[in-house]
Amino acid sequence: MTSVGAKGNHFGANGNHVGAKRSYFGANGNLNGASENHFGATGNHFSASGNHFGANGDHFGANKTLVRANGWGQGAAGWPITFRPDPIPDPILSTRHHRAGRLTGHMETPPNTLYYGDNLEILRRYVGDECVDLIYLDPPFNSNADYNVLFAEKDHTEAAAQIMAFGDTWKWDEAAARAFHEAVQSGAGQGGRVPAAMQGFHAMLGESDMLAYLAMMAPRLIELRRVLKPTGSIYLHCDPTASHYLKMLMDAVFGAENFRNEIVWKRTGSHNDAKRFADVKDSIFYYVKSRGAIWNPQHVEHSEHYLKTHYNKKDTAGRIYRLDNIIRSASMGPRPNLSYEYKEFTPKWGWRVKREKLESLDADGRIEWTKSGTPYLVRYLDEQKGAAMPALWDDIPPINSQAQERLGYPTQKPEALLERIINASSNEGDVVLDPFCGCGTAVAVAQKLNRRWIGIDVTHLAINLIKHRLWDAFKVTDAPVEGGPVGYKVVGEPTDLKGAEQLAGEDRFQFQSWALGLVKARTASSDRKGADKGVDGRLFFHDDPDNVAATKQVILQVKSGKVSARDVRDLKGVLDREKAGGAVIGVLMTLEEPTAPMRAEAAGAGIYDSPWGTSHAKVQILTIEGLLNGTERIGMPQTGDLRTFRKAPRAKRDRKRERELFDPADD
């Protein structure tokens, strides 16, 4: 494929996109060939008849083995899932055009689902039109730094852990050029505003990393608008790096008339910024899809000053109150049906309520007459909800190192922030979507507030963490093995050897995170100057009744390529090195079947005798296939106290309310 032409040649001085298109991509670089009709054709989806997901999952093409066999995408009842076969280019993650379909039609009550994958692809494949009530997105912003995911150690210190999933996501390169091109082509349904905005960005920013970032965001925002119900709302969380551009893009996609607020969240108390004011805030852009959007007013407590100056009266029972107007002011003008005499008093501009209402207020002791003979309404403080919530949120602290809800995910947002958003713009039973869900704050809060949810993330690390979070807080799982209720589905994880091999071929790190998730281990940090050399993951446990504080470890290595007895010898060496830190068992997880010499080498390591009275091979070899089909598992003391992940605090649940919401109706 021809690479991108010289910088700045794209649109020419007048921004004439169409004219300049050919020279930009070169003679054979007609990138829009396959995608040209993509957005324009949104009205041309397959009809609801036929083309449903078949049991064989044919629609997935190359990815089909990555989808859980029990995924709801496979024709679950009540889901009118249809696909269109036109090729959709993935503008960011691949340069090839994949043949995926797009799901269309309205969906009823989608089950809670966690998707592993690129949200653009997931939205197009799985999420139907107008089926989501509320979207919260907290995309990674345009940072030149690699997107490192940090993870908490068991001692709560942070250790960098190498996930380079987005290292070059926002570089201006051919993939970015494709994304940009698609965004420019995409405007048919948006009144041409998106192409205009993208062209404007191009003129201003040139072919820069920032343009690449905006080109990545544009198609995703368009998809998010598609999936949002007419009564839906969207909250885009960002920082000042790109917030001004993102707001313009949001205006382009959702319409400036649908902008409601820029919420300013004071995310930290102080920040050391040289020669400028401390940068302590994030922005959250709140848009609705239409004027009929769900809105539940939120309140904050009145300030002390307000209480002092306004609520300065006390009745005989000690209740604090203030006097409010019950008669109309000149500026309100007269209203014939509100002009009447009451207790020999006829206000010049009339009353604020009808006679019957006034009489009932008076009977309740809610009308007070001043010495000068003017009537007022009595408002008790204990009946007020507080002040209307402003768009300046300085009452929600960030997740600090001591926060109970802290899971060690570096960009984790506080639950209180999501609670406010979800309460304001959705009702119980509604569907909340977070397409960049990270460690699952929106998902966990949606679960807590009895909303349904959809979470998407492109790292297995995040997906694993969310699984643990949901288990720790709500005791729900995606599989019945834990003994808890199956509360959600996971789509996009390998379910068989072929899928695992495919993932390993695509991305070694993702494979490693996913494989460690199979045994509920956490990823070890790889850049602590060799401290974790030779250790991909760890499991922690306590099995010594005489020394309950002693933390023991299983150390894990994950191998996706060829393996030999040498790997087992290496693992034995690492186990020896890690002995002082409590490592007592080493596990080699391998895609390939182990050879006889490997097994012999492992057997030679001997046995770990637990104070609990159980014995376990010191070096174990487990195959991915055996773990997937349940025939193999780690041999280790089952102490019931696997302190591997930081635990999410157990959430208080209203189980009765949940049953009412999610149980099928009796009739």
Ligand X SMILES: C[S@@+](CC[C@H](N)C(=O)[O-])C[C@H]1O[C@@H](n2cnc3c(N)ncnc32)[C@H](O)[C@@H]1O
Q: Which residues bind ligand X (CB under 6 A)?
A: 118-119, 138, 140, 166, 409, 411-413, 436, 438-439, 441, 456-459, 462
Residue 454 or 588 having the CB closest to ligand X: 454
Least distance (Å) from ligand X to the CB of residue 239?
10
Residue 180 or 409 having the CB closest to ligand X: 409
* Residue found by looking up tokens 């207020």 in the block: 361
Decide if 573 contacts 619 (C-beta within 8 A): no
Query: Measured in Å, how far apart are the chain's first and last C-alpha atoms?
Result: 60
For 647, counting Cβ atoms within 10 Å of its Cβ (0-12 exposed, 13-18 middle, 19+ buried), the class is middle
For 43, counting Cβ atoms within 10 Å of its Cβ (0-12 exposed, 13-18 middle, 19+ buried), the class is exposed
Least distance (Å) from ligand X to the CB of residue 166?
6
Least distance (Å) from ligand X to the CB of residue 236?
12
Least distance (Å) from ligand X to the CB of residue 138?
4
Least distance (Å) from ligand X to the CB of residue 437?
6
Residue 5 or 140 having the CB closest to ligand X: 140
Least distance (Å) from ligand X to the CB of residue 664?
32
| Residue with the shortest CB distance to ligand X | 438
Least distance (Å) from ligand X to the CB of residue 466?
9
Residue 456 or 591 having the CB closest to ligand X: 456
Residue 74 or 119 having the CB closest to ligand X: 119
Residue 199 or 447 having the CB closest to ligand X: 447
- Convert 442-454 to b/e letters by CB count within 10 Å (16 or more is b): bbbbbbbbbbbbb
C-alpha 186/C-alpha 259 separation (Å) is 21
Residue 241 or 374 having the CB closest to ligand X: 241
Quick one: tokens of 28? 């054979």
Residue 298 or 411 having the CB closest to ligand X: 411
* Residue 548 CB coordination number (10 Å): 10
* Residue found by looking up tokens 């009353």 in the block: 351
Least distance (Å) from ligand X to the CB of residue 403?
12
* Residue found by looking up tokens 């055996």 in the block: 626
Least distance (Å) from ligand X to the CB of residue 238?
9
Quick one: tokens of 95? 């340069």
Least distance (Å) from ligand X to the CB of residue 424?
17
User: Which residue intervals of 40-159 are DSSP H helices?
Assistant: 119-126
Least distance (Å) from ligand X to the CB of residue 440?
6
Least distance (Å) from ligand X to the CB of residue 140?
5
Quick one: tokens of 301? 């407590």
C-alpha 278/C-alpha 197 separation (Å) is 30
Residue 437 or 554 having the CB closest to ligand X: 437
Residue 293 or 466 having the CB closest to ligand X: 466
User: Which residue intervals of 406-553 are DSSP H helices?
Assistant: 415-425, 441-448, 460-474, 497-506, 508-518
Distance (Å) of CA 10 to CA 4, 20, 271, 618, 648: 9, 6, 40, 62, 50
Decide if 251 contacts 193 (C-beta within 8 A): yes
Least distance (Å) from ligand X to the CB of residue 545?
37
Question: What are the φ/ψ torsions at residue 508 (nearest 5 degrees)?
Answer: -65, -40
C-alpha 414/C-alpha 399 separation (Å) is 6
Quick one: tokens of 657? 């309310």
Q: Is 444 helix (H, G, I), strand (E, B) or coil?
A: helix
Decide if 322 contacts 313 (C-beta within 8 A): yes
Residue 457 or 625 having the CB closest to ligand X: 457
Strand pairing class (583-590; 619-623):
parallel
Least distance (Å) from ligand X to the CB of residue 257?
28
Residue 347 or 455 having the CB closest to ligand X: 455
- Cα angle 440, 446, 450 (rounded to 5 degrees) comes to 150
Quick one: tokens of 470? 């949901």
Strand pairing class (228-238; 619-623):
unpaired
Least distance (Å) from ligand X to the CB of residue 75?
25
Residue 237 or 552 having the CB closest to ligand X: 237
Cβ-defined contacts of 56-65 (< 8 Å, 24+):
59/83, 59/100, 59/101, 59/125, 60/100, 61/98, 61/99, 61/100, 62/98, 62/502, 63/502, 65/494, 65/495, 65/496, 65/498, 65/499, 65/502
* Residue found by looking up tokens 């002009």 in the block: 339
Residue 220 or 542 having the CB closest to ligand X: 220
C-alpha 512/C-alpha 534 separation (Å) is 13
Least distance (Å) from ligand X to the CB of residue 81?
21
C-alpha 479/C-alpha 472 separation (Å) is 15
Residue 140 or 189 having the CB closest to ligand X: 140
User: Which residue intervals of 373-459 are DSSP H helices?
Assistant: 415-425, 441-448
Residue 462 or 585 having the CB closest to ligand X: 462
